[in-house]
Structure 1
């Protein structure tokens, strides 16, 4: 073994010697000595931190040992990690760390830390502890991650609900949520507008389904807020709050996400009108600019449609399936690029190009009519407002070229 290898092994053994006693104290403590808390970490600056994070803390009140259990670990060195990520087969892991080690990082980067001490009975605390340690076993530690339905927060939520006999799910399922998956995603990603737009474009109707407070608790901050209102049986014929106390252990020092999702209809609608106007103006006075602008839009439409088709047909990203934006942007747009350059030389478009353009206008009409149907309809009005004037401008210039 090399010197570097020996040093790494030595450091690993030191870390293990520090963390193992803490785990042992909590693992062997009676339920009456266990204090259970939900730890919520605020959103970070990096895009993958925008949704926040959380953990379950178990504290042995006799020894003072504290351990955080979280479900947010993944391994870049896993075989085919990036391929699996692209295909929607993301493997996440559970982890347990001494609370101090876990929280030091969040303090350093300025993310808020909030502890909610929960009113579990000794039997419930012991059952939760046993489940968490069972979950740490090598055969149980991994799970297939889903952005909305099975993530690091839903796992924490479900573990607490299991220990409490299902009371959290019962209470929160009966309460309507405040936002959809799409609205929460756009709200939290609004600090990175380019990524926000990509995610909004790629989300299908799954993201627009009405949510209960239970489902909306896929977010750490939402779960934190929702459990404040839960009351549980006190064992004497009455009830008391599940959250016994709530303390901010470290304040937030970063920009706070907005409380509501930004409305994208106005900015995308204006962008569509401006781009369409530029296409028409260029067709009248600068044919090269016309061909370039039109090609830019068609390449965007074709690539976006191709990506949406891949997400639907070749991946397990079910939140992107059946995306109605395919009616606005699809790979057939590539067929029309050649006709733009023909129009620059005042050559009429081919019958194929005319047919594709008519089919695209019909698809736009279908996209509009879908919003008249009852039930859950994909909320893609911003993209309709962007695409409609651009396609109409291309259709108008094509018609003028044909005459």
Structure 2
């Protein structure tokens, strides 16, 4: 081995062999932006000898990336790891009114050395970028896997909740976002989660770290909140004008009055959305959006039906297929093959009214 490299490694080992190094896991509370509604996890490293206090961040991305939206949907958006001063990190989260909870790890010198060597290896330029996965590779799972690397074992016990349940628990105050997310997530999210898998969410990682042991001792030495924020009591307009309310009002209106322009708009909207769901299923690199049975009721065939509506015509075969797909959707939901968002109920009513009216036209001819 090169003598210079050996000396550097020995110095590195010695620097970890004392209490000058402190390693903590930071868990940040949820925010108001789409990318922050599930919270965030980061790693804090204090080196008292070198007088550094830094945060290693695993969930960084650049909004200015060319074709940002396309790459995100395709599963080809590169996230990266980065380092910033803790004081700056805290300023950002305090400004966003998000608490930062610190869990200081109780590690031996060897465990600190192994942890930091792995952390610095991951932060090398050739390893810094990675393809994001909501369930399997994000800021929280990266931290979990680092802890596993030094010997921390986490329980694999099955939960009585699915990953969809875990996700939805964060979205109760954002019903439109909840509706959109459930619209694009496939049936794989409805399998029961387990304690290891649940750590894709920062709060669940924090909970599991708090209960974890390493070599027979508690992993956590101490815990504290690093910042203070003012409470936010603003009312959420999303909850007032929720999709459940809006779609319910439309269902009642269309029961008595469903004019041709409204039918054309509805048919076109369902068809386009169905095409979008199908495209995600076929071409996205995100496994969570595949096998999405929302495509049954939000059928791309509505797009083909739209020109018939515009010309005051009907198509018996298309109508029968669309009615059948709606019935199958209800069966899929009832038997919990895939769980749909509750806001889909009035949409089912709208589609039922739409298709029954079209079938009646066919019968009259």
Q: 1:363 aligned to 2:325? A: yes
Which structure: larger Rg? 1
Q: Residues 37 and 225 from structure 1, CA distance in 2 versus in 1: closer, same or farther, beyond 3 angstroms?
A: same
The question of whether the paired residues in 2 share the 8 Å contact of 1:55 and 1:156 is answered with: yes
Distance in 2 (alpha carbons) for counterparts of 1:178 and 1:251 = 34
Match of 2:284 in 1: 315
- Once the two structures are superposed, what CA deviation does each residue of 1:309-367 show, in whole Å capped at 9, x if it has no partner? 11011221221111101110122112333444555xxxxx43xx221111011112222
The question of whether the paired residues in 2 share the 8 Å contact of 1:26 and 1:60 is answered with: no
Give the TM-score normalised by the residue count of structure 2.
Answer: 0.85
Unaligned regions of 5+ residues in structure 1, if any? 1-24, 234-238, 257-262, 284-289, 344-348
Q: How does 1:4-403 map to 2 (within 5 A)?
A: 29-33=15-19, 34-163=21-150, 165=151, 167-168=152-153, 171-174=154-157, 176-177=158-159, 179-233=161-215, 239-253=216-230, 255=232, 274-282=249-257, 290-341=259-310, 343=312, 349-350=313-314, 353-371=315-333, 377-380=337-340, 382=342, 385-402=345-362, 403=364
Distance in 2 (alpha carbons) for counterparts of 1:282 and 1:312 = 35
79-88 vs 208-217, greater mean Cα deviation: 79-88
The question of whether the paired residues in 2 share the 8 Å contact of 1:227 and 1:242 is answered with: yes
The question of whether the paired residues in 2 share the 8 Å contact of 1:26 and 1:67 is answered with: no
Q: Residues 254 and 292 from structure 1, CA distance in 2 versus in 1: closer, same or farther, beyond 3 angstroms?
A: farther
- Once the two structures are superposed, what CA deviation does each residue of 1:158-188 show, in whole Å capped at 9, x if it has no partner? 112212x1x33xx3313x3464332333332
Distance in 2 (alpha carbons) for counterparts of 1:381 and 1:106 = 31
The question of whether the paired residues in 1 share the 8 Å contact of 2:251 and 2:346 is answered with: no
Compute the RMSD of aligned alpha carbons: 2.8
The question of whether the paired residues in 1 share the 8 Å contact of 2:58 and 2:142 is answered with: yes
The question of whether the paired residues in 1 share the 8 Å contact of 2:99 and 2:225 is answered with: yes
Number of residue pairs the alignment of both structures matches: 346
Distance in 1 (alpha carbons) for counterparts of 2:12 and 2:71 = 35
Distance in 2 (alpha carbons) for counterparts of 1:243 and 1:112 = 19
Distance in 1 (alpha carbons) for counterparts of 2:67 and 2:307 = 39
SS for the counterpart of 2:155 is helix
The question of whether the paired residues in 1 share the 8 Å contact of 2:243 and 2:343 is answered with: yes
Distance in 2 (alpha carbons) for counterparts of 1:28 and 1:68 = 22
Q: Residues 185 and 275 from structure 1, CA distance in 2 versus in 1: closer, same or farther, beyond 3 angstroms?
A: same
SS for the counterpart of 2:347 is helix
Tell me how far 1:31 sits from its aligned partner. 3.4
SS for the counterpart of 1:307 is helix
Tell me how far 1:114 sits from its aligned partner. 1.0
The question of whether the paired residues in 2 share the 8 Å contact of 1:53 and 1:152 is answered with: yes
Tell me how far 1:272 sits from its aligned partner. 5.2
